Chains A and B, each alone.
Chain A
Amino acid sequence: MSKSRSELGQILHGVSRDPLGLMGLIIVGTILFCAIFAAWIVPYDPVGMNIKDRLQGPSAAHLLGTDQLGRDTFSRVIMGGQVALKVALPAVFGAMAIGLTLGMIAGYGPKWLDNLLMLFFDTIRSFPTVMFALAVVALIGPSLQTVVFVVMATSIPTYGRVARTQTLTLRNSEFILAERAMGASMKRILGVHMLPNIIGVLAVLAAMDIPTVIALEAGLSFLGLGVKPPTPSWGALLKDGYSLIRQTPWLVVGGGLPIILATLGFTFLGESLRDVVDPKLRKQR
C-alpha cells in the first residue's frame, strides 16, 4: 500500500504546484477540516435558541450574528458544511461507483446490454432533477438520505455515459488488442488496463460535480425539500436569510459565502487534478 500512498503524494504535490490548484486544495482542506471537527469548533449549540439575542449583527460573541430564533449563525454555517459534505460525498462517490460499473459493462459488453443500459440512463436523464426530487420527497418525506438518493440517482447517467464512451474508445485501441493477443481475460482487461484509464477522467468529473451537488442540496433545502428544519444547512440558512433580508443581511452572507467558496474550491481542485492525473501531461509541467 506504500506504493499508492506515494502516488497520492505525487498527485498532491503536482496540484500544490499549480496556484489555482493550491487555492482549491486550501479551500477544500479548510472545509473538510471544519466539517470533521465541527463539534469542537462551534462556539454555540447550532440548534440552541436564545430569543433575547435574535437578529444580531456580527460581534465578538457572535462572529456572523444570530438568526430570528437567536441561534449563532457561525455555528450553523460550520455545522451546515458538515451536512453539505454528508450529502455530497456519498452521493457523488456512490454515483461514480455505480455509473463506472454500468458504463464499463455497457461499453465492453454485448450490443443488446449496451442498448438496455443506455435506455436506462436516458430514462433517468429525462426526469428534471428538481421534479424528481419533489416526487421522491412527496413519497418518502424530506431527509438527508432522500437528498443523497435523489442526487445519486440523477447523476449516475452522467458518470455512466462518460465511462461508456471511454470504454468504447479504449476497447478498439491497439494496446487493448495487444492485451487480448497476449491472453488477458475480460476481467483483467477491464480491471487492470481500462480502469486506470477511465478513473482519472471520472475523478475529475466527480471533483467538479461536488459543488453542483452542494448547490443542489442547498437549493432543495431552500425549497424546503432538503434536510428537516432544525438541522443547519447552507440552503436553509439562505432560505431564512431571504425572508429576513430587510432585518439583517448576515444570514444570506453566512449561507451564500460558503456555497460560493466550496464551488470555487472544488472546481479549482478538479481542474488541477485533471492536468495532474494524466501522465502524458505530467512530464510537461
Chain B
Amino acid sequence: MSDTLLEIDRLSVDYETARGDLKALRDISFDIRKGEIVGIVGESGCGKSTLISSILRLTAPNTRFRKGEVRFKGQDLLQLPEHKMRDLRGADISIVFQDPMQTHNPVLSIGQQMLDIQHRSQAGKVEKRARAAQMLGAVGIPDPEARLEQFPHEFSGGMRQRIAIAMALMSEPDLLIADEPTTALDATLEVQIIERLQELQQELDCAILFISHHLGVIAELCDRVVVMYTGAVVESGDVREIFHDPKHPYTRRLIDCDPGHIKERARVLPTIPGEVPDLANLPGGCIFRDRCDQAVPRCASEVPPLSKLKEGHHAACWLNHEEVHQ
C-alpha cells in the first residue's frame, strides 16, 4: 500500500457538550491514494467539517478523539506533536475554504500575504514575489505582477477563490483539502474553478479531498466518492459505481433529490422525509432507519457494517446482505 497517501482508519470523534457527548464521527474509514481526487458528499451536519478539522488537527477545544487513526504517509497525525503537525499544514496538506470573501486578511495586500505564506522557503524576496506572480498567473488572474499590490476587497469572489487556490498550491502539497470551494460562488464561476482545479491537479499531481453537497460537481471532478450521513460513512466507491448503481437507500435518495437528475418539470422539488437523528442520543441500529422506506426489522436492532460489495464499492446497509432477502 505504498501509494496510499491518507488513510482514515475507524476514526470516532465526539464533542463534549453540556447535553452529553455529541457523536460527531463514528467509525469513519476511507483512504486517498496519491494523485487521486476523492469527493465527500453529505447534507449539512453530517460531519464533513469535523472530518477536515480532525485531519488538520484544528479542532475546537471540546473535541475528543475517541478511537481510530488518521495516517498520512504512514504516520498517525493524531499522535504527532503540535510543532510537527504545524510543519505539515500548508506544506504537505493545504486547504481551500468555503467562503472566499473571508479567507484573506483584509488589511494586507495579496502580495504581502502570498509572500508571507512562503515563510518556510529560504528564497529571497524577489524570488518569492516572482513565485507568487507565477502562481496567480497559473490560476488565471490577468496581469499578476500588478495585482499583487491590490487588497482582497479589490477582487471579485471568484478571483479571491482562485487566489486562495493559488496560495494553497504554492507549496506543491501532496494533499489539497477543498472544503466546498464553489458553494459560495455562482454556477458559471463554479465551472471555471472546477476546470482550473482539474488542470492544476494534473500539473502538480496532488491528491484532492473535495467536499461538496453538489453531486454534479462530484461526478464531474472526482475519481471516488464517500457518502456520509450523520457522522458515518454509508457508502463509498468509484464515482461511476455510486452514481449508476447506488447500494444504500440514502445515496439513492440523495441522487433523486439532485435537481440535475430530475427529468420532468415538478412544482415541488423532491426531498428526503424525516429529520436527522440527535447525535447526543443516537437510536440503536441503522441511523437512517427512520427516514428509510425499505427498512426491515434487522435495521432496528443492529448497526449495519460498511461491507465490501465488490472491488471498490462499500456500503453499510442490511439490504445488501443475502440473509435479509431470504
Cβ-based interface call for B139 (8 A): no
Cβ-based interface call for A180 (8 A): yes
Convert B90-134 into 0s and 1s, putting 1 for each residue whose CB lies closer than 8 angstroms to a CB of A. Answer: 110011010100111111100000001101100000000000000
Convert A222-237 into 0s and 1s, putting 1 for each residue whose CB lies closer than 8 angstroms to a CB of B. Answer: 0000000000000000
The segment from A70-78, A193-201, A202-210 that touches chain B is A193-201
**Cross-chain contact A182 with B154 (CB below 8 angstroms):** no
Once the chains are docked, how many angstroms separate the CA of A280 from the CA of B88?
33
Which of A177, A184, A193 is the one whose CB lies under 8 Å from B90? Answer: A184
Once the chains are docked, how many angstroms separate the CA of A182 from the CA of B151?
20
CB-defined contacts of B154 to chain A, threshold 8 Å = 283
Q: How many residues of A contact B (CB 8 A)?
A: 21
Cβ-based interface call for A13 (8 A): no
Which of B58, B94, B95, B107 is the one whose CB lies under 8 Å from A196? Answer: B107
**Cross-chain contact A182 with B153 (CB below 8 angstroms):** no
CB-defined contacts of B105 to chain A, threshold 8 Å = 175, 179, 193, 196-197
The total number of A-B Cβ pairs within 8 Å is 67
If A193-B108, A280-B153, A283-B153 touch, does A177 touch B89 (CB 8 Å cutoff)? no
Cβ-based interface call for B86 (8 A): yes
Convert A245-266 into 0s and 1s, putting 1 for each residue whose CB lies closer than 8 angstroms to a CB of B. Answer: 0000000000000000000000
For residue A194, give the distance in angstroms from its CB to the closest CB of chain B. Answer: 9
CB-defined contacts of B107 to chain A, threshold 8 Å = 196-197, 200, 279
CB-defined contacts of A279 to chain B, threshold 8 Å = 106-107, 151, 153
**Cross-chain contact B103 with A183 (CB below 8 angstroms):** no
CB-defined contacts of A17 to chain B, threshold 8 Å = none
**Cross-chain contact A184 with B119 (CB below 8 angstroms):** yes
Once the chains are docked, how many angstroms separate the CA of A277 from the CA of B95?
30
Within 8 A of B (CB), among A3-61: none
Which of B87, B102, B153, B168 is the one whose CB lies under 8 Å from A175? Answer: B102
CB-defined contacts of B99 to chain A, threshold 8 Å = 174
B: contact size bracket: 20 to 34
Once the chains are docked, how many angstroms separate the CA of A200 from the CA of B119?
24
**Cross-chain contact A181 with B106 (CB below 8 angstroms):** no
CB-defined contacts of A280 to chain B, threshold 8 Å = 106, 153
Once the chains are docked, how many angstroms separate the CA of A283 from the CA of B90?
32
For residue A5, give the distance in angstroms from its CB to the closest CB of chain B. Answer: 16
Cβ-based interface call for B209 (8 A): no
CB-defined contacts of B88 to chain A, threshold 8 Å = 183
Convert A170-190 into 0s and 1s, putting 1 for each residue whose CB lies closer than 8 angstroms to a CB of B. Answer: 000111011111111100100
CB-defined contacts of A197 to chain B, threshold 8 Å = 105-107
Once the chains are docked, how many angstroms separate the CA of A184 from the CA of B86?
7
CB-defined contacts of B168 to chain A, threshold 8 Å = 182
For residue A22, give the distance in angstroms from its CB to the closest CB of chain B. Answer: 24
Once the chains are docked, how many angstroms separate the CA of A200 from the CA of B108?
12
Residue of chain B at shortest CB distance from A192: B116
**Cross-chain contact B58 with A185 (CB below 8 angstroms):** no
If A178-B95, A197-B105 touch, does A188 touch B86 (CB 8 Å cutoff)? no
Residue of chain B at shortest CB distance from A188: B119
Which of A178, A183, A196, A283 is the one whose CB lies under 8 Å from B91? Answer: A183
Cβ-based interface call for B167 (8 A): yes
Once the chains are docked, how many angstroms separate the CA of A181 from the CA of B171?
13
Once the chains are docked, how many angstroms separate the CA of A178 from the CA of B153?
17
Cβ-based interface call for B40 (8 A): no
Cβ-based interface call for B56 (8 A): yes
If A196-B107, A196-B108 touch, does A181 touch B89 (CB 8 Å cutoff)? yes
CB-defined contacts of A192 to chain B, threshold 8 Å = 108, 116
For residue B156, give the distance in angstroms from its CB to the closest CB of chain A. Answer: 14
If A192-B116, A193-B105 touch, does A181 touch B56 (CB 8 Å cutoff)? yes
Once the chains are docked, how many angstroms separate the CA of A86 from the CA of B154?
41
Residue of chain B at shortest CB distance from A180: B58
For residue A246, give the distance in angstroms from its CB to the closest CB of chain B. Answer: 56
Once the chains are docked, how many angstroms separate the CA of A181 from the CA of B177?
10
Once the chains are docked, how many angstroms separate the CA of A185 from the CA of B119?
10
If A188-B116, A192-B116 touch, does A182 touch B89 (CB 8 Å cutoff)? yes
CB-defined contacts of A185 to chain B, threshold 8 Å = 86
Residue of chain B at shortest CB distance from A280: B153
Residue of chain B at shortest CB distance from A196: B107
Once the chains are docked, how many angstroms separate the CA of A280 from the CA of B104?
13
Once the chains are docked, how many angstroms separate the CA of A173 from the CA of B120?
24
**Cross-chain contact A174 with B102 (CB below 8 angstroms):** yes
For residue A220, give the distance in angstroms from its CB to the closest CB of chain B. Answer: 37
For residue A28, give the distance in angstroms from its CB to the closest CB of chain B. Answer: 24
Once the chains are docked, how many angstroms separate the CA of A72 from the CA of B153?
56
CB-defined contacts of A175 to chain B, threshold 8 Å = 102-106
**Cross-chain contact B87 with A178 (CB below 8 angstroms):** no
CB-defined contacts of A173 to chain B, threshold 8 Å = 102
CB-defined contacts of A188 to chain B, threshold 8 Å = 116, 119
Once the chains are docked, how many angstroms separate the CA of A188 from the CA of B293?
53
Residue of chain A at shortest CB distance from B153: A280
For residue A170, give the distance in angstroms from its CB to the closest CB of chain B. Answer: 9
9 A/B residue pairs, CB under 8 Å, sorted by A: A174-B97, A181-B95, A182-B89, A183-B120, A193-B105, A193-B116, A196-B108, A279-B106, A283-B153
In the complex, besides A184-B119, A279-B106, 14 extra interface pairs with C-beta distance below 8 angstroms are A174-B97, A178-B95, A181-B94, A181-B95, A181-B97, A183-B88, A183-B89, A183-B120, A184-B116, A192-B108, A196-B107, A196-B108, A283-B153, A283-B154
Shortest Cβ-Cβ A-B pairs, 3 listed: A182-B90, A183-B90, A183-B89
